[in-house]
Structure 1
Amino acid sequence: MCRWLAYTGEPLQPSTLILDAKHSVVAMSLNSPLGAEPVNGDGFGFGWYPSDAGAGATPSTFRSIEPAWNDENLREISRAVRSPLFFTHVRAAGGPPIQQTNCHPFRYENWLFMHNGVISHFGLTKRELTFAVDPSLYTHIRGTTDSEVLFHLALTLGLADDPIKAVGDAIRMVEAAGHKAGVAFPMQGTVAVSDGATLWAFRYSSQGQSRTLFHSADIPTLREMYPDVERLSTFGDHAQVVVSEPLNDLPGAFLEVPESTVAVLDPSGYHHEAFLAA
């Protein structure tokens, strides 16, 4: 499938995580030990909120069909900007064509969304699910992926009012359509969504065997655990990372998000909530 990373906290040069970490997202694009596919070279995307923008700001995006490890523009942009909240995603295409509009993250107004996983046998449910998108949002679907349809279903079902409920309702709709079409396990994956202030990271699959997902422990605790690791001084006290695979080998630095769980991260810290648990 894919690999992704999301950051929230004090404004940071994104290249710190996208390029420079020991097991950075670009490194994952070449070698993903915990991924369904070891190589994720079918394009990438980078979305970020400006460091000087207020609440409700529209994020910027850069998406390309180039492999992430081979794109000079990604290196230039990720080193040139600073952002308090950004997403990046490397893609392993599972069926939909390799084109820019199929690269994550997807954007609508102040929202960013990305997904690692699949709506199983999407061709059997694509018409029903796509037509369930609100007509006012339908024209914003530019690509052909199941992930973009899932995003617009969540927008249709009230993402702006209650993100956890809206993503849950969208997944339940996917499962209902899939079961009606004879698909045993319709939904698989991890999802990140943000309004620019809060980051929600979901781990869920119909089969209970979701893609891996981790988030960092709080920085002050890590500094106490590893006082000699100079790299930790790069991050502010509120820095938090959610990622498909840990960025380093430091024991305790990354915590696994359990199955059927949403991790909610904002300036106050993080907490977990049960999500679509049986």
Structure 2
Amino acid sequence: MCRWAAYRGDPLYLEELVSSPAHSLIEQSHCATRAKTATNGDGFGIAWYGDRPEPGRYRDILPAWSDCNLKSLARQIRSPLFLAHVRAATGGGTRRDNCHPFVHENWSFQHNGQISNFDRLRRPMESMLDDQLFHARGGTTDSELLFLLALQFGLPSNPFAAISEAIGFAEGLSVHLTGSALVRFTAAFSDGKSLYAVRYATDRKAPTLYASPVGIGYCLVSEPLNDDIDAWTEVPDGSAVLIDDMGVHITPFQPEKRASAGPQAPLTIPA
């Protein structure tokens, strides 16, 4: 499983999440503590927003710990909203086009998880894309395809509904073609203004997600960046997260066409 971090707030140097903390994202790339595999060495990527609507992006297939450019960029780039990812491949080759974050116009997206039986589902999932989004697909991962499906289903107008429909479509297709469905999905995505995240799994075993204030803003991470346990709030499985000018909002999430899991009390992230 991959590890990722994301931030929204007053401009912050990327190194504050990527390289400086005791358990930074680079540290997690070779020593993750809350994942099935400790090593995430199949590439990395960062996407950050500045003065232009579309994000800047840097990706490579080297392990994050061995790329001197990553530390240098993270020390120099200051951004109010950015995503960073280290990859442990569950499908798709180790190539730059398969490294997260994925971007399309002003949107960026990174994911930790997988779709079971993706080799059986890939072609019918791709057939749902219009020509523009189909030709925008550069890699071979299930993550990128879920992102493009969400764009197809209206991500810019209703982000959580689009993600819900994309996951629900994958689950329904899997049941139809294989008799079962398993999607594990912990992802962050942004339009350059707000930061969104979803933690969900068909089997209620979604990859981990934590939230915490950092500087004058908030970050979302796969696992805490330090040992200050009280500073980190675990986001429950089956949750949608929105970080905007008003703070952090956590609400229940279920894919479309799936039965509701029942009410869930809102969480409060300490300021």
- Give the TM interval when normalised to the shorter protein: over 0.9
* Shift of residue 80, structure 1, vs aligned partner: 1.3
In the other structure, the counterpart of 1:12 is 12
In the other structure, the counterpart of 2:233 is 255
In the other structure, the counterpart of 1:104 is 100
Sequence identity (%): 41
Does structure 1 residue 28 correspond to structure 2 residue 28?
A: yes
Query: TM-score of the superposition, structure 1-length normalised?
Result: 0.90
* Shift of residue 10, structure 1, vs aligned partner: 0.5
Gaps in structure 2 of 5+ consecutive residues: 255-259, 262-271
Q: What is the rounded CA distance, in whole Å, between the counterparts of 2:121 and 2:179 in structure 1?
A: 10
* Shift of residue 202, structure 1, vs aligned partner: 0.3
Per-residue CA shift, 1:94-153, capped at 9, x if unaligned?
131000000000000110001000011100100000111122211000000000000000
In the other structure, the counterpart of 2:242 is 264
> What aligned pairs does 1:1-278 form with structure 2 within 5 A after superposition?
1-50=1-50, 53=51, 57-182=53-178, 184-216=180-212, 218=213, 235-236=215-216, 239-276=217-254, 277-278=260-261
SS of the equivalent of 2:11 reads: strand
| CA 80–39 in structure 1, closer or farther in 2 if over 3 Å, else same | same
* Shift of residue 30, structure 1, vs aligned partner: 0.7
Count of aligned residue pairs for this structure pair: 256
Q: What is the rounded CA distance, in whole Å, between the counterparts of 1:120 and 1:103 in structure 2?
A: 19
Pairwise CA RMSD of aligned residues?
1.1
Given that residues 172 and 181 in structure 2 are in contact (C-alpha distance below 8 angstroms), is that contact kept between their aligned partners in structure 1? Answer: no
* Shift of residue 75, structure 1, vs aligned partner: 1.0
AA in 2 matched with 1:116 = N
Q: What is the rounded CA distance, in whole Å, between the counterparts of 2:245 and 2:21 in structure 1?
A: 23
* Shift of residue 183, structure 1, vs aligned partner: 5.1
Mean Cα displacement is larger for which, 246-255 or 94-103? 246-255
SS of the equivalent of 1:38 reads: coil
Query: TM-score of the superposition, structure 2-length normalised?
Result: 0.92
Q: What is the rounded CA distance, in whole Å, between the counterparts of 1:32 and 1:203 in structure 2?
A: 19
User: Which runs of at least 4 in structure 1 moved beyond 3 Å after TM superposition?
Assistant: none
Per-residue CA shift, 1:180-236, capped at 9, x if unaligned?
1225333112011100111111000111110110110x46xxxxxxxxxxxxxxx22
